């Protein structure tokens, strides 16, 4: 181990992505590209047109008679519930529908056109019920009950549903005494923020193809972040023995959380079970992608926060109403993450948090890059900005005074590890020329700067595990098998770097085998939570160490030396004692002949490794207190310099800056790419994005009406800084960075907007229209 | 539904294809010719993932009927590399790190290649404008713009 640590060559090197040549030549295979031949059937889904109602009658007989239709299924065929945490949903609605777009029936036909036509022939009669379209109302006793059976659902022990209400999870923190603290505060800010639903918008829509065989084997090909979780959940809900469901997962054309858990993938599997022998393909239209898929749930966040006359934070009350939607695949755990992280990266002695996941008749809340943290920070960081202003302190000074430091006790009772957030604040402030007022580019324009902080822990069950296989080939190359998915973040590249470094082979000799296939790939919980570099990286490192030791043992026996005297460097086994060398290819498959034709030593070398955190503890349901709520936090800061056109309300972001403490950047360029891409996604949500929901109807389900940032909208200057305070249990000290860069963006823009205009506009998106109307109201524009 | 026999050149190769009247160029490329490098992101001309060059001009292939392409010259992402040699634009986007999930990449490459063919030294704004119809959710775009500048020699 000590020897392996010494030879750091490819860790911290920005080697090119493993998958890039395939991707620039069009050779990379995505789920929609797999060819299934003439037997392929096309699946379309009949969906609920109403937000809430009882299904009185479904008649599929006309659809079944349409030539070209092979099978029609409804909820009557599939009685069991499905769900990642709280099992509260059916694959097809059975007695009740709870959101517009909820699957009610599905058709498989020889063409998509015939399948579409068949949907029109399915008759569904509903009795419409009053709906819930606001989480605060939904949590009140007046609201109609959306899940009367809540008390009967299965759920894990860290979720706290309240049967008889619409509250699917209620997470609490009670630390210190907020009531006693308020009188000691020199300044208090109280504000309610509303953050709208947004969509993930991967450029690749969801695609899933399923085929059942006569022998009971079922295969699912899907664009997915979660092949193993999908196998487990779908198998259970459809009574398929888990090992008989095989999920094959090629490259994913963007995930951002929407291809995690089970979204639509159970539908073609359910259909396939009724029609063995045929591959059944469901590909969502862009419109379905917008209005039927998991969303980033909306949030109403009420914050009361106070500090003493020197700006030291004393108390926080944070009440969050998450708009969980009709079902809670992820919503209950977003609520929990929002709860245990509800202070943001600030050291606050007295905390009272109530984080509630509320059922509504909106689309299902899913995992979205940041997992609640962007929404939380949109509230908490704006409140901090207001409090700094109220107490008369510079925001950067205020943030630095109050940000967490290694050894602090968090609101849950966990002691935080070494964090580099102060370095991140300094890097951003310096790069932004903090404190210097910039000149606007013309009359009727104003400039402003803003800064916001971020923290996020991997939000996952305490025992989410990883595993890896490192296999050496006869030509000296290495195949690394993992179950975590390449969704664009570059994880295959990083895993190859970790394997190469640990084994002592050139990076170019390492391949990460895809597609992920639950039959052949080792287990991985899910590609979510920015956990792969850390968790799967540890598994790969352990597998590579295992392979390395096996090689050294074989060579040591052949050379009659102590394995401790040997090392592997650049693909060669070397002896520090005798300076003997042997290329790996001469050892790793065929073994080494003993002298004088007296037999052989060794054999094919395969290393295995796994990793699972074992130290995360439960939290008290009433106080949220426990020894260790999470594995670790990644922290950072972001700032923007922007200009507002007073005549139009349009915001132009001139420069955006990010700094994050990633522990150790295995591949610095990939880290910077995550920071830039995440920042743009965050800025896009700050300026443009919102699912316009009216009584459960999404009014903007297209790229024309739901705008995301284009090449013209992004800041021409994006600076990124890598801060490295090592993670004690990360591979080479690394921790995750995938989600974090979009967490502070909305609050950073809001802060800059206030700096520019002197007025506060607190609820995103900060569209030109919204800004202009606020300017008119404030008398700044006419 | 009527079928039509059309001939066209795709990536320098003459193709003879029977297509239904309502088949789009995108469907023809993916389903009839097996050229799956061109992606389907919205099927309504809004995301640019299906961009190909049609007689030298970048078009959303989901908005063009295959029958309209009788006699046309089409270049897809598969046609950019020649004899295993990547197009300088492909080399550049690898170098600048303008690829993440890769789903928008084929369309981005075609839009940028068409721009450079038309105007070898575009301004930064012209580059951004040329790819403004190609949505990307991963990269934040600037590294893509850098790649085009690199090929143009204007970085």
pLDDT band at residue A782 using 50, 70 and 90 as cut-offs: confident
The mean per-residue pLDDT over the stretch A85-95 comes to 96
For residue B124, the tally of other CB atoms under 10 A from its CB is: 16
Q: Is B32 on the interface with A (CB under 8 A)?
A: no
Look up residue A256 and give its DSSP letter.
T
A106-130 tens-digit pLDDT = 999 999 999 999 999 999 999 999 9
Contact B46 A286 (CB under 8 A): yes
In CATH, the number for domain A464-611 is 3.30.365.10
Cα(B139)–Cα(B144) distance, integer angstroms: 8
Instruction: Pick the residue from chain B with its C-alpha nearest to A705.
Output: B46
For residue A236, the tally of other CB atoms under 10 A from its CB is: 16
Instruction: Pick the residue from chain B with its C-alpha nearest to A716.
Output: B142
Tell the residue number behind the tokens 């509260």, with chain if given. A88
Residue partners of B118: CB distance under 8 A and separation at least 6: none
A549-596 tens-digit pLDDT = 999 999 999 999 999 999 999 999 999 999 999 999 999 999 999 999
A414-456 tens-digit pLDDT = 999 999 999 999 999 999 999 999 999 999 999 999 999 999 9
A39-129+206-283 and A299-460+618-777 share one fold: no
What is the nearest CA distance from B145 to chain A, expressed in angstroms?
8
pTM reported for the whole predicted model = 0.97
Main-chain phi, psi angles of B142, to 5 degrees: -60, -35
Q: Taking all residues of chain B, what is their mean pLDDT, rounded to a whole number? A: 97
Class of domain A39-129+206-283: alpha beta
The mean per-residue pLDDT over the stretch A646-673 comes to 98
Alpha-carbon distances of A704 from A121, A254, A476, A611, rounded to whole Å = 30, 20, 52, 45
Alpha-carbon distances of A354 from A169, A315, A317, A320, rounded to whole Å = 10, 14, 8, 6
- B59-65 long-range CB contacts below 8 Å, 24 or more apart? B59/B25, B60/B133, B61/B24, B61/B25, B61/B26, B61/B29, B62/B24, B62/B25, B62/B26, B63/B24, B64/B24, B64/B25, B64/B26, B65/B21, B65/B22, B65/B23, B65/B24, B65/B25
Q: Do the bridges between strand A350-359 and strand A313-325 make them parallel or antiparallel, or are there none, so unpaired?
A: parallel
Cis before A632? omega within 30:
no
A239 burial (CB, 10 Å; 0-12 / 13-18 / 19+) is exposed
**CA A92 from centre of chain:** 26
Q: Of the candidates B37, B41, B134, which has its C-beta nearest A27's C-beta?
A: B37
The mean per-residue pLDDT over the stretch A701-716 comes to 98
In which element (H, E) is residue A206 found?
Answer: none
Instruction: Return the percentage of chain B with pLDDT > 90, whole number.
Output: 98
User: Which site among A15, A25, A716 would you substitute to test the B interface, given the most B Cβ atoms closer than 10 Å to its Cβ?
Assistant: A25
Q: Taking all residues of chain A, what is their mean pLDDT, rounded to a whole number? A: 97
Instruction: Pick the residue from chain A with its C-alpha nearest to B38.
Output: A26
pLDDT band at residue A3 using 50, 70 and 90 as cut-offs: very low
Domain ranges, ordered by start, for chain A = 39-129+206-283, 299-460+618-777, 464-611
In which element (H, E) is residue A516 found?
Answer: strand A516-517
What is the nearest CA distance from A19 to chain B, expressed in angstroms?
9
Whether residue A7 has pLDDT greater than 60: no
Nearest to A671 by CA among B100, B145, B142: B100
Look at residue A8 in the predicted model and tell me its pLDDT: 52
Q: Do the bridges between strand A693-694 and strand A697-698 make them parallel or antiparallel, or are there none, so unpaired?
A: antiparallel
Contact A251 B101 (CB under 8 A): yes
User: Which site among B94, B106, B137, B141 would you substitute to test the A interface, given the most A Cβ atoms closer than 10 Å to its Cβ?
Assistant: B137
A294-338 tens-digit pLDDT = 999 999 999 999 999 999 999 999 999 999 999 998 999 999 999
Q: Of the candidates A26, A489, A681, which has its C-beta nearest B77's C-beta?
A: A26
In which element (H, E) is residue A74 found?
Answer: strand A69-74
Main-chain phi, psi angles of A75, to 5 degrees: -60, -25
Whether residue A471 has pLDDT greater than 50: yes
Tell me the chain A residues in contact with residue B46 when contact means C-beta distances shorter than 8 Å.
Answer: 286, 702-704
The mean per-residue pLDDT over the stretch B32-43 comes to 98
CATH domain A299-460+618-777 topology: Aldehyde Oxidoreductase; domain 4 (3.30.365)
**3-state secondary structure at position A446:** strand
| Full set of structural domains in chain B with CATH | 3-79 (3.10.20.30), 88-152 (1.10.150.120)
pLDDT band at residue A2 using 50, 70 and 90 as cut-offs: very low
Cα(A129)–Cα(A99) distance, integer angstroms: 11
Is there a contact between B36 and B102 (Cβ–Cβ < 8 Å)?
no
pLDDT band at residue A661 using 50, 70 and 90 as cut-offs: very high
Q: Of the candidates A24, A30, A681, which has its C-beta nearest B103's C-beta?
A: A30
Cα(A249)–Cα(A604) distance, integer angstroms: 28
Tell the residue number behind the tokens 């038309």, with chain if given. B118
Whether residue A5 has pLDDT greater than 90: no
Whether residue B120 has pLDDT greater than 90: yes
The set of catalytic residues of A is 739
Contact A29 B36 (CB under 8 A): yes
Q: Which residues of A610-637 are buried (b: 16+ CB within 10 A; e: fewer)?
A: bbebeebeebeeeebbeebbbbbbbbbb
A143-181 tens-digit pLDDT = 999 999 999 999 999 999 999 999 999 999 999 999 999
A608's tokens: 């295995």
Tell me the chain A residues in contact with residue B101 when contact means C-beta distances shorter than 8 Å.
Answer: 202-204, 251-255, 487-488
Whether residue B101 has pLDDT greater than 70: yes
């Amino acid at each position: 181990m000590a020897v392996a640590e010494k030879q750091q060559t490819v860790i911290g090197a920005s080697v090119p992505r493993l998958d890039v040549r395939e991707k620039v030549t069009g050779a990379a295979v995505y789920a929609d590209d797999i060819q299934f031949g003439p037997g392929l059937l096309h699946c379309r889904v009949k969906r609920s047109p109403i937000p809430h109602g009882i299904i009185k009658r479904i008649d599929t007989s006309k659809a079944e008679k349409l030539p070209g239709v092979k099978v029609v299924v409804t909820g009557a065929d599939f009685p069991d519930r499905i769900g990642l945490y709280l099992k509260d949903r059916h694959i097809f609605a059975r007695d009740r529908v709870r959101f517009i777009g909820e699957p009610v029936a599905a058709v498989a036909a020889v063409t998509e056109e015939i399948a579409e036509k068949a949907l029109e022939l399915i008759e569904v009669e509903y009795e419409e019920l009053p709906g819930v379209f606001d989480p605060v109302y939904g949590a009140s006793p007046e609201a109609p009950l959306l899940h009367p059976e809540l008390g009967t659902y299965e759920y894990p022990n860290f979720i706290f549903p309240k049967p008889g209400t619409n509250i699917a999870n209620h997470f609490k923190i009670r630390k210190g005494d907020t009531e006693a603290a308020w009188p000691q505060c020199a300044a208090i800010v109280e504000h309610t923020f509303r953050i709208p639903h947004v969509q993930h918008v991967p450029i690749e829509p969801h695609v899933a193809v399923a085929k059942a065989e006569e022998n009971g084997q079922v295969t699912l090909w899907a664009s997915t972040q979660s092949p193993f979780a999908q196998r487990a959940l779908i198998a259970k809900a459809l009574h398929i023995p888990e090992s008989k469901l095989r999920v094959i997962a090629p490259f994913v054309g963007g995930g951002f959380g929407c291809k995690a858990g089970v979204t639509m993938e159970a539908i073609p599997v359910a259909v396939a079970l009724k029609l063995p022998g045929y591959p059944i393909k469901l590909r969502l239209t862009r419109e379905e992608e917008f209005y039927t898929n998991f969303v980033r749930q909306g949030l109403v966040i009420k914050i009361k926060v106070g500090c003493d006359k020197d700006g030291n934070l004393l108390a926080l009350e944070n009440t969050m109403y998450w708009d969980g939607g009709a079902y809670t695949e992820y919503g209950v755990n977003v609520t929990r993450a929002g709860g245990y992280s509800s202070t943001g990266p600030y050291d606050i002695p007295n905390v009272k948090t109530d984080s509630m996941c509320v059922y509504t008749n909106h689309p299902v809340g899913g995992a979205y890059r940041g997992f609640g943290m962007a929404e939380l920070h949109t509230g908490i960081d704006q409140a901090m900005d207001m409090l700094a202003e109220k107490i008369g302190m510079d925001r950067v000074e205020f943030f630095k005074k109050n940000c967490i430091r290694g050894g602090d006790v968090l609101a849950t009772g966990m002691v935080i590890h070494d964090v580099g957030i102060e370095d991140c604040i300094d890097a951003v402030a310096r790069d932004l020329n903090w404190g210097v007022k910039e000149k606007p580019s013309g009359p009727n324009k104003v400039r402003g700067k803003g800064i916001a902080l971020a923290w996020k822990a991997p939000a996952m069950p305490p025992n989410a595990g990883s595993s890896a296989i490192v296999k050496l080939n006869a030509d000296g190359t290495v195949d690394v098998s993992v179950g975590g998915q390449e969704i664009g973040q570059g994880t295959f590249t990083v895993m190859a770097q970790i394997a190469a470094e640990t084994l002592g082979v050139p990076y170019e000799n390492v391949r990460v085998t895809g597609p992920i296939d639950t039959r052949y790939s080792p287990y991985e919980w899910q590609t979510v939570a920015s956990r792969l570099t850390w968790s799967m990286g540890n598994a790969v490192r352990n597998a590579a160490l295992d392979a390395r030791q096996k090689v050294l043992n074989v060579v040591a026996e052949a050379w009659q030396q102590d394995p401790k005297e040997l090392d592997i460097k650049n693909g060669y086994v070397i002896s520090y004692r005798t300076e003997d060398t042997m290329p790996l290819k001469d050892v790793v498959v065929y073994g080494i002949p003993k002298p004088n034709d007296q037999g052989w030593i060794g054999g094919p070398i395969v290393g295995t490794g796994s990793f699972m955190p074992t130290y995360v503890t439960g939290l008290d349901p009433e106080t949220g207190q426990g020894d260790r709520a999470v594995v670790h936090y990644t922290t950072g800061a972001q700032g923007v310099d922007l200009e507002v056109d007073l005549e139009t309300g349009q915001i132009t972001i001139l420069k955006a800056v990010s700094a994050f403490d990633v522990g150790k950047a295995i591949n610095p360029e990939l880290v910077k790419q995550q920071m830039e891409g995440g920042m743009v996604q965050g800025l896009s949500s700050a300026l443009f994005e919102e699912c316009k929901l009216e009584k459960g109807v999404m009014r903007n389900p297209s790229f024309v009406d739901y705008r995301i940032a284009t090449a013209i909208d992004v800041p021409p200057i994006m600076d990124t800084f890598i801060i490295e305070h090592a993670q004690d249990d990360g591979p080479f000290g690394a921790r995750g960075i995938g989600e974090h860069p979009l967490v502070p963006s909305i609050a950073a823009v809001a802060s800059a907007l206030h700096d520019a205009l002197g007025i506060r506009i607190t609820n995103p998106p900060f569209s030109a229209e919204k800004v202009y109307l606020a300017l008119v109201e404030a008398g700044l524009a006419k | 539904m009527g079928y039509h026999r059309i001939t066209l050149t795709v990536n320098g190769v003459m193709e003879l294809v029977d297509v239904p009247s309502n088949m789009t160029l995108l469907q023809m490329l993916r389903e009839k010719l097996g050229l799956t490098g061109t992606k389907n992101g919205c099927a309504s001309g809004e995301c640019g993932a299906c961009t190909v060059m049609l007689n030298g001009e970048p078009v959303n292939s989901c908005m063009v009927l295959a029958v309209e392409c009788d006699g046309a010259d089409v270049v897809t992402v598969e046609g950019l590399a020649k004899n295993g040699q990547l197009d300088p634009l492909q080399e550049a986007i690898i170098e600048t790190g303008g690829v993440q999930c890769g789903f928008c990449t084929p369309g981005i490459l075609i839009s940028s290649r068409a721009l450079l063919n038309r105007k070898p030294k575009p301004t930064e704004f012209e580059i951004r404008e040329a790819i403004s119809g190609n949505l990307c959710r991963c990269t934040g775009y600037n590294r893509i713009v850098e790649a085009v500048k690199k090929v143009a020699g204007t970085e």
